[in-house]
Structure 1
Amino acid sequence: MKYLPALRREHLGAIVLDARDSLEECIRALADLYREGPEVVGDMLIEIADLKDRAELERDLDGLGHAEHCRDELVAELLGDIGGAKTYLDPRVTHFALMQARSLAFEAQRIATAANERAHELAKLTAIVRGVKADKRRLPFC
């Protein structure tokens, strides 16, 4: 299922959900939208970037303001214009829909298994680091 995120392992045991295929489709749709109205799309993208800067400033002021909310609304509007971020699965009762559902279940199981393994690994590493820090605190200073 090319449009669903795929699980990838990177160096040092890190796991990554790769959504490249679905994002490529969104970028193609954004390019088509830009061709139809470059000024409108360009202005929206600039406004989204400006609102990001304003939201960061507001966050430094203990979250006062509404720039982040406005930015989220603009991003949602732009996503809607390029076809949304939803992946629709086949609703029919066919062999293709069955295979699609099985593939989705298999990929979800792989993601869950990898995430659980990573969580256990991180829990062990965190306990080791905490143990080392606790040992350092117990040592008398010379």
Structure 2
Amino acid sequence: MVQKLDELQWCRGLAILAVLCYHLWPSFFPNGFLGVDVFFVISGFIICANFEHLLQQNSFFPSLQTFYARRIKRIFPNYFLVLFLVVVAGPLIFLEADQQVLQKDAKWAAAFATNIQIIDEDGSYYRLTSAFKPLLH
């Protein structure tokens, strides 16, 4: 395992915060969506560092399966917990028409196909209407 770099973890946290602020207050954080790019660049660096470590130990291919199993084990529970909480909180926050949209968005998100839905419905990932979707990222 590669040593954890706390500075990079902080940068990833700030990137996530930028995206959350963009969704909550898009007029105050118009470029907050760039946090997604920053998050992916940092995550890519960390993943490559882990892969390099595995290559140096000559255990890359057996560990690749373990690598993805660990990622799924770590990410999926949180992903579905947030999805569940958004769907449960929807009736408390959104109007009835918006709740129906949220339910549909939740189905796409559960299938990991939100980006396909956005392109299909809005024609572009970067339209203003996409900014108000709580399950976008």
- Structure number with higher relative contact order (C-alpha < 8 Å, ≥ 6 residues apart): 1
Greater strand content: 1
The TM-score with structure 2 as length reference comes to: 0.29
Structure having the larger proportion of residues in helix: 2
